[in-house]
């Protein structure tokens, strides 16, 4: 075992919460006790449209195992496994959707359809390209143009633009050429003549700003050194005539590219001699297999693609297979991953922008851009989404990241030990053993080699059973010191049956006190004891007339007892409640014959017992009070 049960302590309950500043968990709470092998209802705050994920950790947060991933729910019933630990961390992550109304927009940002939009690394600027041959840089806070570059007049001459490492340089695809623009000085460097033979449809810059990649209509993917503005290498893949998208991984080691064959290719670009991984495949019923956009996620070895088949697909790079997908109602033209965290955004020709979790769960309702969407992007802090398209407008949306949150709580794991008392039955004077039984010990690891001191508190009905010479009374709490071991019995208590009233009662375990450990939680089950008299209503028989009783409540607080005595001597009358507690007693000397006695009582509604003890026998009669 990783920790010994006798060294346990309740974890210091300090919840870690990111984003909301409030506790997300409703149950359990920080520091609560959780029982292994028992169902546990996990509940959390579900205000608004959220997607929830839950993990647990057995090693103080070094590794996390998933319980629930990206589900639109506010609860989860977990059957806690039998874990070789006594401490558990539970982590809850809730993701909120975007606001349905844009926070800023610029209508007629260009005079033609906008083909691409990208945020600068510092989040202060946007760059857009349009089919009119113009590139514009925008202030994000005002959506006012700060730079305008007129590069052509023909339609469809511009495909993409991206910032190079900071906000001062922009790389632009211009026909089959590339243009590097430096904002502070206004300098421009045009390069790439003769490398591509057709339009460059997409470009990407590696995270360090040292290299670029281009995807073109001439079936070539090219790598560029941005320090020399020279191509490093160009290549093609069999069966692909046009490339539509290219992207670097967040660490800059992998390159993904996709074209018109429905396959997404991934390779380590510094090891081009190695064959690429192939993720297949997009395609619609008409045979069109264009993959419009690809990008890498920042978690879980994630690759995302959008295509002509209206789907957003999430790929596991390690397993080289698809593990989730979402869908639009038209071509998915653009996909981007959150720079950090677990979400992606897509833009479609159905005029909507949608966010997704890596498991394909949509986050919130679709955002309606107002025209066919051709490009989307996240701001570096993830708070904003930019969308552009055929309506020539730029729109900025709140992504909902700031309303997402994470909450981690610590709970104590305990081994549930079921303790039960049996049911006993016997004749007055008989002796018996009361075993205290315990179950579940077979799977509890510490009981395989250890034993643990405990103290049992039992409640015995001492008018029915006698333990260790205990005198008859009402109830007796018995304290027994014993040991919990890998066996089915903690202790056996010797008792002797007595003739009491009533003749049956519960045997109860009131509490279990563990000594030196918090590893166990007792679940108790009561037993019962029943004494069978030798003959109903008597302990012995003697000659003479029967001892008869007639009971009647003739006035409030007074019980009338009509008694036919069959012998001279001392008679004792005792009144008990249904739990066997003595309420009243009266002794008197009677002669053989009929007697009418008055017996005071203050009775609540319920069942009572009158016991009459003559010199030779005992008679028990029930008394009902309806007051």
CATH number of 548-625: 2.60.40.1930
At residue 109, the 3 state secondary structure works out as coil
Q: What length does the chain have?
A: 627
% of the chain beyond a pLDDT of 90: 58
Q: Do 5-97+407-411 and 421-531 show the same overall fold?
A: yes
pLDDT at 99: 87
Question: pLDDT tens for residues 50-104?
Answer: 889 999 998 889 999 999 988 989 999 999 988 877 889 999 999 888 889 999 9
CB atoms within 10 A of CB 512: 21
Q: What is the pTM of this model?
A: 0.71
CATH class in words for 115-399: mainly beta
Residues 95, 98, 99, 103, Cα dihedral to 10°: 130
Residue ranges per domain, the chain?
5-97+407-411, 115-399, 421-531, 548-625
Residue whose entry in the numeric block shows the structure tokens 């107002």: 370
3-class SS string, 130-145 = ECCCEEEEEECCCCCE
- Residue 33 CA, chain-centre distance (Å), reads 16
Confidence band, pLDDT 50/70/90 cuts, at residue 11: very low
Residue 447: helix, strand or coil by DSSP?
Answer: helix
Is the pLDDT at 1 greater than 80, yes or no?
A: no
Selected residue with higher pLDDT from 435 and 567? 435
400-424 confidence digits (pLDDT tens) = 998 888 999 999 999 999 999 999 9
Residues 6+ apart with CB under 8 A from 288: 308, 309
- Specify whether the CB–CB gap between 58 and 87 falls below 8 A: yes
Burial (0-12, 13-18, 19+ Cβ within 10 Å), 22: exposed
Burial class (CB in 10 A: 0-12, 13-18, 19+), 190: middle
Residue 25 has pLDDT above 60, yes or no: yes
> Which range among 216-230, 248-262, 562-576 shows the weakest confidence by mean pLDDT?
562-576
Q: What confidence tier does 604 reach under pLDDT thresholds 50, 70, 90?
A: confident
For residues 350 and 171, give the distance between their C-alpha atoms in angstroms, rounded to a whole number.
Answer: 29
Q: How does pLDDT run across 488-527, given as a tens digit for each residue?
A: 889 999 999 987 777 888 899 999 999 988 889 999 999 9
Counting residues of the chain whose pLDDT is more than 70, the rounded percentage is: 91
Q: Options 1.10.4160, 1.10.10, 2.60.40, 1.10.287; which CATH number does 5-97+407-411 get? A: 2.60.40
Q: Which class for 588: exposed (0-12), middle (13-18), buried (19 or more C-beta within 10 A)?
A: exposed
CA 198 to chain centre: 52
User: From the DSSP assignment, how many helices (H) and strands (E) are in the chain?
Assistant: 0, 53
What 3-state class would DSSP assign to 373? strand
Mean confidence (pLDDT) of the chain: 87
Residues 6+ apart with CB under 8 A from 104: 143, 395, 396
Reported CATH class of domain 421-531: mainly beta
For the cut 50, the answer to whether the pLDDT of residue 536 exceeds it is: no
Res. 471: pLDDT tops 80 = no
For 174-228, the pLDDT digits (tens) are 889 999 999 999 999 999 999 999 999 999 999 999 999 999 999 999 999 999 9
């Amino acid at each position: 075992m990783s920790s010994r049960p006798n060294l346990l302590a309740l974890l210091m309950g300090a919840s870690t919460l990111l984003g909301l500043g409030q506790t997300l968990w409703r149950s359990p709470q920080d520091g609560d006790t959780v029982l292994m092998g028992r169902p546990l209802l996990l509940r959390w705050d579900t205000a608004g449209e959220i997607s929830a994920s839950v993990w647990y950790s057995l090693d103080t947060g070094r590794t996390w195992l998933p319980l629930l991933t990206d589900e639109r729910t506010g609860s989860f019933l977990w059957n806690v496994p039998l874990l070789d630990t006594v401490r558990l961390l539970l982590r809850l992550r809730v993701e909120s959707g975007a606001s349905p109304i844009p926070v800023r927009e610029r209508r007629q940002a260009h005079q033609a359809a906008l083909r691409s939009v990208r945020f600068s690394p510092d989040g202060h600027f946007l760059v857009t390209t349009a089919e009119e041959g113009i590139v514009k840089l925008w202030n994000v806070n005002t959506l006012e143009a700060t730079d305008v570059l007129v590069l052509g007049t023909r339609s469809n001459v511009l495909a993409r633009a991206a910032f190079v490492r900071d906000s001062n340089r922009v790389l632009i695809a211009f026909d089959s050429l590339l243009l590097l623009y430096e904002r502070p000085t206004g300098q421009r460097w045009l390069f790439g003549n003769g490398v591509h033979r057709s339009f460059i449809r997409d470009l990407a810059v590696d995270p360090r700003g040292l290299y670029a990649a281009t995807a073109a209509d001439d079936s070539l993917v090219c790598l560029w050194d941005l320090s020399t503005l020279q191509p490093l290498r160009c290549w093609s893949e069999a069966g692909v005539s046009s490339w539509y998208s290219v992207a670097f991984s967040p660490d800059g080691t992998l390159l993904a590219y996709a074209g018109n064959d429905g396959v997404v290719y991934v390779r380590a670009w510094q090891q081009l001699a190695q064959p690429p991984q192939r993720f297949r495949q997009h395609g619609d019923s008409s045979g069109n297999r264009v993959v419009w956009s690809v990008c890498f996620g920042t978690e879980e070895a994630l690759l995302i693609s959008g295509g002509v088949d209206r789907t957003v697909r999430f790929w596991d790079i390690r397993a080289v297979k698809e593990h989730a997908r979402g869908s639009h109602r038209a071509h998915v033209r653009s996909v981007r991953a959150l720079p950090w965290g677990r979400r992606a955004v897509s833009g479609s020709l159905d005029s909507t922008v949608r966010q997704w979790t890596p498991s394909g769960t949509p986050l919130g309702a679709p955002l309606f851009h107002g025209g066919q969407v051709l490009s989307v992007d996240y701001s570096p802090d993830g708070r904003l989404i930019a969308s552009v398209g055929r309506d020539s407008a730029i729109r900025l949306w709140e992504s909902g990241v700031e309303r997402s949150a994470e909450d981690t709580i610590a709970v104590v794991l305990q081994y549930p030990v079921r303790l039960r008392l049996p049911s006993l039955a016997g004749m007055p004077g008989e002796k018996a053993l009361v075993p205290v039984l315990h179950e579940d010990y077979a799977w509890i690891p510490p009981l395989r080699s250890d034993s643990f001191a405990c103290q049992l508190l039992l409640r015995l009905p001492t008018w029915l059973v006698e333990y260790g010479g205990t005198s008859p009374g009402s109830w007796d709490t018995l304290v027994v010191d014993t040991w919990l071991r890998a066996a089915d019995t903690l202790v056996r208590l010797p008792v002797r049956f007595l003739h009491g009233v009533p003749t049956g009662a519960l045997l109860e375990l009131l509490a279990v006190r563990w000594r030196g450990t918090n590893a166990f939680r007792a679940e108790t089950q009561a037993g019962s004891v029943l004494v069978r008299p030798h003959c109903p209503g008597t302990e012995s028989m003697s000659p003479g007339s029967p001892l008869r009783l007639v009971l009647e409540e003739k006035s409030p607080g007074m019980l009338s007892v009509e008694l036919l005595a069959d012998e001279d001597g001392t008679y004792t009358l005792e009144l008990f409640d249904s739990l066997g507690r003595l309420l009243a007693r009266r002794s008197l000397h009677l002669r053989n014959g009929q007697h009418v006695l008055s017996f005071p009582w203050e009775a609540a509604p319920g069942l009572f017992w009158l016991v009459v003890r003559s010199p030779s026998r005992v008679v028990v009669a029930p008394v009902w009070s309806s007051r």
